[in-house]
Amino acid sequence: MPVRSFVADHVKPIGSSGIRRVFELGATLEDPINLSIGQPDFPVPAAVKQAMVEAINADHNGYTVTRGIQPLRDRIASKLAEEADWTPDVFVTCGVSGGLLLALMACINPGDEVLIGDPYFVSYTHLVKLVGGVPVEVDLYDDFRLNPDRFEAAITPKTKLLLACSPGNPTGVVHKEADVKAVCQLARKHDLLIISDEIYQMLSYDGPSPSAARFAPERTLLLRGFGKSYAMTGLRMGYAAGPAEIISEMAKLQQYTFVCAPQPAQYGALAAMDTDMSDQVALYAAKRDLVCAELDGVFDFVKPAGGFYIFPKAPARFPSATAFVEEAISRNVLIIPGEVFSQRDTHFRISYAAPDDRIKQGCEILRSLAR
């Protein structure tokens, strides 16, 4: 008697993350030059560690209310009021990825279309499909700007959401204020919601990254987190802010999924919001300049303005970016092929969240491959 598969059909097409595959491959190599993983190479700030230790020792280790501890929610609300004169509903999520999943679950009906700029973060299209939506990739090559005209051309009667990320992953591009304003006008004109993924918001080097919350607060669902800015990636801390109707549904769904964010980490996030990270931001701006100088004249790339990624074009003599990445990995340099983030396989992602000497060593090998 044949045994049926108990795996759901909507899960089967999703492969494992290309980023995680390279990360796991790196664990098998001897002393690889790892320019692949999106994780800060500086430690969690001492004040944040101490706040979590004190929380643990004070037995703040159980569940919190679903929306998070009140002092952290108050501090987030105060920041948004100061930054954007905005008083949205707020709740604490298990990282930005957790917030994004809850947001899509709360907003998407089967068949609803979600506009996503291509290239995009690896999980966007998969999460949209998991909740029954239809991802619509909007080509943003070769400048990776928001390009409002291209988004408008992709709008149909089924379009419900526009998902944007600035600073971007994998490109490092920070959206221009004029483009963000234009997208906000599109949202009003076509009755759309904007989900603004701002996980790298603090890591913006040439001026602030403009948020849709400033220009269309009533149509913006803001997602931010603590992982990339404070090196708290494994502590899974983020927050969502936006219209009360959506936040209420997201919080309800959190009750049945994540339950609440880890309580000690919430106290750490509260301390993080009062921790000066300007030295680390300056350090990453310098790393950005270093990697650009190392690649200049050999690779075609858009200079990143935030985050800690650069997205160069693979050399033309290789049949695809994946082929170039495979050759780089054979030389002990871990980078990510662009097809992980895109419908194209023409570019590759470098993370410069690494020691300067490793950045130089890795770029030297990549230059030699290109030549």
User: Residue 26 has which token pair?
Assistant: 């790196």
> CA gyration radius for the chain?
21
Q: In what order do the strands lie in the sheet with 89-93?
A: 89-93, 238-242, 220-225, 193-197, 159-165, 113-118, 134-139
With H, G, I as helix, E, B as strand and everything else as coil, classify residue 348. Answer: strand
User: Residue 1 has which token pair?
Assistant: 């008697």
Q: What is the pLDDT of residue 193?
A: 98
User: Residue 277 has which token pair?
Assistant: 């990270």
Under-50 pLDDT residues of the chain: none
- Listed in sequence order, the DSSP H helices in 37-69 are 46-57
Q: What is the pLDDT of residue 30?
A: 81
Q: Residues 6 or more apart from 124 whose CB is under 8 A from it? A: 100, 116, 135, 163
Q: Which amino acid is at 325?
A: V
So what CATH class is 18-44+277-370? alpha beta
Q: What is the pLDDT of residue 19?
A: 66
Q: What is the pLDDT of residue 355?
A: 96
With H, G, I as helix, E, B as strand and everything else as coil, classify residue 341. Answer: coil
Question: For the chain, what are the domain ranges?
Answer: 18-44+277-370, 60-272
Q: What is the pLDDT of residue 224?
A: 98
> Alpha-carbon distance 206 to 168, whole Å?
14
Please name which of 364, 370, 333, 369 lies closest in space to residue 350, comparing C-alpha atoms: 333
CATH (residue range 60-272): 3.40.640.10
Q: Tell me which residue has tokens 């994540």.
A: 258
User: Residue 157 has which token pair?
Assistant: 């009667």
Residue 154 contacts residue 188 (beta carbons within 8 Å):
no
Q: What is the pTM of this model?
A: 0.94
> Alpha-carbon distance 345 to 301, whole Å?
15
CA–centroid distance for 26 within its chain: 22
> Alpha-carbon distance 70 to 277, whole Å?
24
Q: What is the pLDDT of residue 248?
A: 97
> Alpha-carbon distance 224 to 197, whole Å?
6
Residue 272 contacts residue 104 (beta carbons within 8 Å):
no
Q: What is the pLDDT of residue 18?
A: 62
CA distances from 266 to 6, 251, 357, 369 (A): 37, 16, 35, 45
Number of helical (H) and strand (E) elements in the chain, helices listed first: 14, 12
CA–centroid distance for 5 within its chain: 33
CA–centroid distance for 196 within its chain: 10
> Alpha-carbon distance 216 to 300, whole Å?
35
Q: What is the pLDDT of residue 179?
A: 98
> Alpha-carbon distance 40 to 172, whole Å?
14
Q: What is the pLDDT of residue 5?
A: 83
